[in-house]
Structure formats: structure tokens, C-alpha cells
Amino acid sequence: MPKSRRDWGTKQARHDPLRRTAPIVSEVKAEVVPVLGKLPESGGEAIPHGEQVWALASISSLLEDENADRNRRMLLSKNVIKRIVFALESNSDLEIRREASGALRNLCVNGDTDVLGEIANKGGIEAVLNCLRWATMGLQNQQKQLERAQAPLREARERLLSKPMDQMNRKERRQAAKLQAGTVPDTLKAQTDFAPDPASIVEFHEWAADAPQQLLAMEPAAATCLVETCENLVVILGCVGETSEKLLVRVVRWDWHGEKDHSPNTSTSPFAGEALAAWLCEAIAVGTTPEGPYSSALQHLAASSANTLCALSDDTSYGLAKALVGLPSDMPSSKKARRADRPLQSLPTPSELLAKRNLGCSRLAKLAKAVQLVPMDGEALSNAALGVITSGALCNILRSVVSDPEIEEPIVITGYGPLQGFAEREILPRLTHILSLVDTSQITSGHSQDALYSCELSLEIITELVSMLGVEIAAEDHLCISDLPIDRHNDHDADFEMLEDQSSTSESSDREKPASAEVSEENHGLDQWIFAQLLQSTLLPVLLKLASPTQESELDTSEAFKRRAVEVRAMAAVNNLLLRLALFAPPPPSQWPSDESTLERITAWRTWVGTTHLEGKQLIATPIYQILKETWNQVFTIASHWAAVPSVVDADSSVSGAWTTAAKADTGTSLARDGIAMVNTCIGGLWSIARILEGQLPLFSEGMPASYVTALQAAYQSARIVDVRVKCVGTLAVLARSQAECTDSNTLSAAYQEMYLSLGNLLMDVTEASSQDPNQAELLVVAINGVIDTYANELAPWNFVYEVGNFQTRLNGLITPISRVIKRMNKSTDESLYTAAKEALDNLKGFLEYRSSLA
């Protein structure tokens, strides 16, 4: 049977491997090829100045138009990075360097890791840093820099000449004779013109005071060009530093005082990164200068420098924050030094350490001055954004200092006092005022993008800052009631010292406290604690106002996404503040201390928060208790709102997690993701408040179970997100110890007995259910700890639940299943959870042994 014939009309021609198809050249590509011809990859034929400027400006424009992504890929295929880097480092013309740095900046701002890596591989980092060092000479006054550089030499010569001849040694006599004869040459010469000679005197610490006058002395076009070049360069450094740790090390460790070359020039100084930190601080200081012809351009440079300083100081592992404050960074081992084929870092002398610390204090003072651009009252200034960004840099520096246990002395800002005190006294109130000016109804409108950026950045800074409060530097990893700062009679606590006038240098031991700082003997001066001041300030109301949802928040639009971003950040700040305060709360009954010092702190704490009825005293609702209870109600209202949104109710683990910018790409899941993040964060805040008050919240309202108790029970049963269920159980476990309306088991009402039974059975049911599944290890840990903490005190009013529910026998039967679950856990996946589970099992065994001894 013959086969059916193919339709030859539709048959494709066979592939001919020897035939080359004509390349399809797009219109843009055809136009760009001549442009790239004006930018050689290496030395060769000289290209006219105007053509190079035109070519670089054309590339910058192509990277900004509507087809930027396509143009970027096409330009990268033509080795455009090497061409731009060569133009940047081989030309000393200001206009060429401005256009080259601008083109390189437009390539960097996209944040493509591959592009930034290629820039580093082509020598772009070294070219940018060399160009920035070169530009510094145009911003500084050469004569003043010469005088400052010669000052130590002149002082040494004056000391030598004033020294008696009979006290000089032979070498000093010869030197003095030459000085008197005038035969010692002065090798430092002033340069009055802006020259790119790297041998010129480059000083990175004081050029901000010279920059406005130096710019006025230049041609207007050259001055503008120089400032724009510096701005482009610092933006590039910020983008590169955010890309990877490896590139960040290259930026920080570059030797600003080394020879100019194209290879990585790594500093071996223990203060590597100091020059870059000093340069950025000076650039920020320039933005605080009075109005002038170039004030707008200088303010843009200051804002970009502050952004870069935030980016480079965010990682505390690579020494920029330490170098800024004048501390030596971590020195590499000899093995690493030999591998890098460079000498070891030399240990700094005590005099060098002191000089560096003094310079660091001066640099911090420049940042502190920029922070004061943010007002404490009234309308925000036009350049308040610079103060907000600089506050972020100081927050990063403070975190680096607090997290380093080797720093034993507080970091001081010249003229402002300790850094931590400045953050609490200046940064927090100013950022709070900025947030109070935000109009939530207009926050997502197109004309308020700057206000939205300042709002989001302020919230992020506050979120970080409140998590470092309450203790001095070198805080322990695990805070507890023992770290609570209390006053004993005539002693001054750390927080009172922080509130004193920092300008006073008197260290007299007999000075008296002002009348407003009198210490209460009952709470040992906790009314003057930083948390007492924050709770009674406008910070919490402002944050809760921003975190409160509206009807527009539930929409799946870009404006609603921006609004929810502010709400999530505001609630995260509230949660961090409450969580930090909860770390100082008294321990649960299972960890009750016995030493008098800790018990004294517990009494002071309970007097402060208003839970003295736990010690048999009269219940007095203190202002702090009222504030925390009102905060509890508002946080619960916000959580209830989001828990009722249909997309949040139906959400599962596939859309769970914290808010991320990735949600922008999928508006269908962003609402559910943001709603879950809000519910999760709110319940975390409720857990913290319950810990602060030791569970002393009413379990009933108007004769009915409190709405938050039933809501938390229902949330545990219905939620499909593990984090939400864990926090619900943890909060209910703390509420199970509530004695807000009863203190004696003999006077328990039937309603309270039923409530205690309900909460106790819930904890026991969760423990039994999660003891069979290693995927519920988090629930298992929190449930075990909840049972132990609740029933560790056999004299508590709710102890009858333990006996009625036969918890002793049931818990004994769970030892083997729990041990089996722990053995099935993957230790390498989550070592901290594995350790917590083992610790919970050990505690459970000890708890059962203790309870059995009571029989």
C-alpha cells in the first residue's frame, strides 16, 4: 500500500551548516555601533574630546529610555563596560569623567549582579576610587591642606628649637643647626590649580569646609561638573557594596594612599576604610552648609553619600563602621596574609589609637549635625531627607558597636555625648515627628513620593533602633530581668547619665540630680528608663496610626500595595519595641530566681507595670499598665481586621512569610502575603505584651470570655500557617497564668475554673498532637514550655487543672514519642530548633520529676 505523500508546499528547507544567514541588525544597534567606535577598549588612536563626550552621553541616554533593558543587553554584548572604565581612568577631563561615571552609574542602578561583577572584573572599582580621590583635590583648598599637613612638622621643629642645647642628643643638635641655618628643604608645596596629580596633598578629613569656596572659584560649568561626577561615583560604590561581600571588601580595603594603578590596591592598615568613611562624612557635611549657588547640587551629593554610607556600613563584618568611629578593624591571620601575598597588618600604637578615636568622634559630629536637619516640631525642612538617611547610617554604626563585645567604652560624639544616648535623645524623637506629619490619606499619591520614601526609611530605622535599647554597649545575646537597670538610693543608672547635659565635662561625684529626675524608691527609678519615656511619648500612637488598615488597604492595586508596605513596616516597629521590652520581663515560674538582687528587680518591675497583686499587694493600674492594655486592644483590632479578609483566611504556606518587594510582581498574592504578615506580627506583639504583664490581662469581659481569648483559640484551630499557630499557643500559654481578677484558688468562680480548664486542655492537646510529627516541632516546643511554665507553681489558682486533667500521667506517656520526634529531626536544617527541642525535653523530664516529688 503506497504511503501518503507529504505536503511539499509546507515542508521546511533542510538546514545547511555551511550557509550563514544574514544578521538582523536593529535600528538601535545600527545607531550604537558608531557610538562605541568613539570609545576604544584600550590605548590607540586619539579620539577628539567632543566625540568622546557625545558617545558617553548617548550611552547614558540609551540606558534611561523606554527600551533600557534591551539596550543594556545589546551594549553589554559590545563590551561597553571595558570601554567606559577605560574612558574614566585614561582621561583627566572633567566633562569626560562626568559622562563616563554617569554611564557607569546607569549600568549599576539596575542592581544586576552579573553587570556589577563584570564592572569589578574590568577594574571598575579601582577606577572609580582613583577618580574619587582625584576629584577630592578639586574640592579642597590646597593651601589650607598644605598648612594642615605641615602643622605636625612645624610643631615638631618648634619643640626642637625650644629645647635647651644641653638636653639635645647629637642627632637633634645637627637638625637644629640646619633649621637655624635655613638649609632644611620644605618638600611640601602648595598647588593653587585643580590638577589630577596623585602626588598632590589629599586630605580626607576637613575638605567640607573648603568645598563651597573652592567651587565658587571655578568656572560654573566646571564646578557643576565636578559635583555631579562625585555624586555618580559614590552611587556606583553604594551599588557595588550592596552586591556581594567580596566586592564590599574590595571597596573598603582599597588603599587611598597607595600608588595609582589598575590592579586591586589593598590596604594593610588596621584602619582600612577610614579614608572612604571620612570622605563620605565630609560629603554629608557639605549638605548641611548654608544656601549658596551650588547648594542644591551639594545636597544631592550629600544624600547620595549618606545612602552609600548606609549601604556600606550595614554589614558589620568588614570594618567600615569601626573605621568611621576610629577603631581598628579585624586583622587577618598570618595564613590569610601569606595567601594574599602581602604583609601583615601592624598593630596600632596607643597614641595612634587615641588620635584615630578623636578623628572618629569628629566624623560622628558631622553626621549628628546632619541628623538635626530633621525637626523635632513644626514642618519638615526641604533637606530633612538627608537627616533621615544619615540617621540610618548612625543606626548601623550603633548596631556594629553594640554587637561587638570587645568594645568596652561607649562611643562618644564630639559635642553631643555618647552615641547611644544621642540615638535615644535625638534620632528617635525626630523620626517620630517626621512620621507624625505623614498624611495617610495622601501617602500613595504621585506628588508625595519623597514623603513616602522618608516615611518608609524612618520606619525601618526605628525598627532597628528600638531593638538595641535598654542596655549599654556590648550587650549580652540573651537579655533577662538581671539586665534591668535600677537605681539603688544614690547610685546613678545608665539612663540618667544618658539624659544629663552631654556638653558638661565635669566628672564631680557629688553632683545632684535635677528635681525632674528624682528616683522613686518603689520602682527604683524605672520611670526614668528609656522604655518608660518611649511608652509615654507619641511614638506608639504614631506607629499604630500608620499600622491601622483602611478600606483601600484591601485592594489589589499598586497604591494599596504601597499603603500596606507602610502598615507592615509600622507594625514591625511596634513589635520590635514590645519584644525588646519583653526581654527584661520577669522569668516564668519554672525559672524563678532565688537571689535577692534579681527578686528586687522583679519587685521594681511589677511596681512599674502595675502587677503588684502577684506579690500579694493591692492591684494598682499604673500609667504603663494602661498604655500597654490600650496598645493590646489596638493591636488586636488590627489583627482581627486582617484575619477577616477572605484572601488571608484562605491563604496557606505557599503565600506565607514576611513582606518582600517580590510581592510587587504578583499582585494576586501580595494582599494575602501582606495580610498574613500583619496577622503574624500582631500576634507576636500580643505575645510580647502578655510577657511584659506576666499574663495579667482580663480573661472575661462583661461576664463573657474575652474576645481575644476566643479569637486566639479559633486562630490556632483554623490557621494553616505554622508561625501563626505557634504564636497563638505561646500567647494563650501566658494568658493561662492570668490573675487579673482572682488571686486565690478558694475564691475562683465557675467561669474562671472553666476558662483555666479550657486553656490547660488546649496546651495539653497541642503537646499530644505535635508529639507525633517532626514537622510540628515548633508547636511541640512552645506547647511543652507552656505546660511547664503554667504548672510549675503548685500553689497557683489554676493548679487544679493539672490534677483534674491527669497531666502527670499523660506527660509521662509522651516522653518516648517526643524523643522519637527529636531523633527524626534534621539537625543540619535548623540547628537552633533542634537544640530548643532537646532542651524542652530535658526540662519536661525535670518538671515531671519535681511534680512527682510533691505527691
For residue 319, pLDDT beyond 90: no
Q: How many helices (H) and strands (E) does the chain have?
A: 37, 4
Cβ within 8 Å of residue 685, ≥6 positions away = 571, 574, 575, 578, 579, 631, 635
- Report the pLDDT value the prediction gives residue 545, as an integer from 0 to 100: 94
Specify the amino acid at residue 747: T
As a whole number of angstroms, the distance between CA 388 and CA 130 comes to: 29
Q: Are 321 and 276 in contact (CB under 8 A)?
A: no
Pairwise pLDDT comparison (175 vs 386), residue with the higher score: 386
For residue 247, pLDDT beyond 60: yes
Residue 265 — very low, low, confident or very high, per pLDDT cuts 50/70/90? Answer: low
Quick check: helix, strand or coil at residue 418? strand
- For residues 445 and 481, membership in a common domain is answered with no
Residue 141 — very low, low, confident or very high, per pLDDT cuts 50/70/90? Answer: low
Rg over CA atoms, the chain: 33
The strand pair at 417-418 and 704-705 is best described as: unpaired
* Distance of alpha carbon 466 from the chain centroid: 11
The least confident of 54-58, 368-372, 402-406, 765-769 is 402-406
Secondary structure letter of residue 254 according to DSSP = B
Specify the amino acid at residue 169: N
Q: Percent of the chain having pLDDT more than 70?
A: 79
- Report the pLDDT value the prediction gives residue 392, as an integer from 0 to 100: 93
- Whole-number average pLDDT of the chain: 80
pLDDT in tens, 394-426: 999 998 877 777 777 788 999 999 998 999 999
What are the helix (H) ranges across 380-514? 384-402, 419-422, 428-436, 449-465, 494-499
The least confident of 114-123, 192-201, 389-398, 430-439 is 192-201
317: in domain: no
- For residues 627 and 497, membership in a common domain is answered with yes
339: in domain: no
What number is the average pLDDT over the span 202-219?
80
Residue that terminates a domain, selected from 59, 92, 122: 122
Residue 595's CB: how many other CB atoms inside 10 A? 9
Residue 57 C-beta-side C-alpha neighbours within 13 Å = 8
* 650-675 exposure pattern, b = at least 16 Cβ within 10 A, e = fewer: ebeeebbeebeeebeeeeebbbbbbb
- Report the pLDDT value the prediction gives residue 349, as an integer from 0 to 100: 81
pLDDT in tens, 803-831: 999 999 999 999 999 999 999 988 888 88
As a whole number of angstroms, the distance between CA 306 and CA 138 comes to: 21
Cell of 16: 545547511
Helix (H) or strand (E) holding 51: helix 49-62
Residue 31 — very low, low, confident or very high, per pLDDT cuts 50/70/90? Answer: low
Quick check: helix, strand or coil at residue 795? coil
The least confident of 117-131, 257-271, 484-498 is 484-498
* Intra-chain end-to-end CA distance of the chain, in Å: 97
pLDDT in tens, 337-350: 444 444 445 677 88
- Report the pLDDT value the prediction gives residue 33, as an integer from 0 to 100: 62
Cell of 9: 508546499
30 exposed, middle or buried (CB, 10 Å; 0-12, 13-18, 19+)?
A: exposed
Quick check: helix, strand or coil at residue 694? coil
* Distance of alpha carbon 205 from the chain centroid: 26
As a whole number of angstroms, the distance between CA 492 and CA 142 comes to: 49
For the chain, give the longest Cα–Cα distance: 127
- Report the pLDDT value the prediction gives residue 806, as an integer from 0 to 100: 93
Helix (H) or strand (E) holding 105: helix 94-108
The least confident of 266-275, 624-633, 748-757 is 266-275
- For residues 760 and 734, membership in a common domain is answered with no
- Report the pLDDT value the prediction gives residue 151, as an integer from 0 to 100: 63
- Report the pLDDT value the prediction gives residue 145, as an integer from 0 to 100: 55
Residue 679 — very low, low, confident or very high, per pLDDT cuts 50/70/90? Answer: very high
For residue 699, pLDDT beyond 70: yes
286: in domain: no
Secondary structure letter of residue 557 according to DSSP = S
349: in domain: no
Residue that terminates a domain, selected from 720, 741, 762: 741
For residue 517, pLDDT beyond 60: no
What are the helix (H) ranges across 244-349? 245-252, 274-286, 295-313, 320-325, 334-339
pLDDT in tens, 778-805: 999 999 999 999 999 898 889 999 999 9
- Residues found in the chain: 855
As a whole number of angstroms, the distance between CA 243 and CA 37 comes to: 30
- For residues 734 and 754, membership in a common domain is answered with no
- Report the pLDDT value the prediction gives residue 167, as an integer from 0 to 100: 82
What number is the average pLDDT over the span 204-224?
84
38: in domain: yes
161 to 164, 179, 183, 188, 507: CA distances (angstroms): 8, 8, 15, 20, 37
- For residues 735 and 617, membership in a common domain is answered with yes
Look at the alpha carbons of 109, 111, 114, 118 in this order and tell me if their dihedral is positive or negative: positive
127: in domain: no
pLDDT in tens, 89-129: 888 888 999 999 999 999 988 768 888 889 999 999 999 99
Pairwise pLDDT comparison (501 vs 91), residue with the higher score: 91
Domain that holds residue 108: 27-122
89: in domain: yes
As a whole number of angstroms, the distance between CA 226 and CA 234 comes to: 13
- For residues 711 and 794, membership in a common domain is answered with no
- Report the pLDDT value the prediction gives residue 639, as an integer from 0 to 100: 96
Report the number of distinct structural domains present in the chain.
4
For residue 321, pLDDT beyond 70: yes
188 to 148, 172, 258, 259, 777: CA distances (angstroms): 11, 22, 18, 18, 70
Q: List, in sequence order, every residue forming a beta bridge with 701; answer none if it has no partner.
A: 704
The strand pair at 417-418 and 412-413 is best described as: antiparallel
- For residues 824 and 788, membership in a common domain is answered with yes
pTM exceeds 0.75, yes or no: yes
Residue with cell 588612536: 45
For residue 325, pLDDT beyond 60: yes
For residue 742, pLDDT beyond 90: no
Look at the alpha carbons of 68, 74, 76, 81 in this order and tell me if their dihedral is positive or negative: negative
- For residues 801 and 845, membership in a common domain is answered with yes
Cell of 153: 612638622
- For residues 593 and 719, membership in a common domain is answered with yes
- For residues 458 and 478, membership in a common domain is answered with no
- Report the pLDDT value the prediction gives residue 734, as an integer from 0 to 100: 95
Can you say whether residue 33 is alpha, beta or left, with left for phi > 0 and alpha for psi between -120 and 50 degrees?
A: alpha
pLDDT in tens, 647-670: 888 877 666 554 443 334 344 468
- For residues 614 and 651, membership in a common domain is answered with yes
Q: List, in sequence order, every residue forming a beta bridge with 700; answer none if it has no partner.
A: 705
427: in domain: yes
Residue that terminates a domain, selected from 721, 741, 761: 741
For residue 528, pLDDT beyond 90: no
As a whole number of angstroms, the distance between CA 576 and CA 685 comes to: 8
- For residues 674 and 758, membership in a common domain is answered with no
The strand pair at 417-418 and 700-701 is best described as: unpaired
Pick the closest to residue 251 from 315, 164, 158, 331 (CA basis). 315
For residue 484, pLDDT beyond 60: yes
Secondary structure letter of residue 829 according to DSSP = T
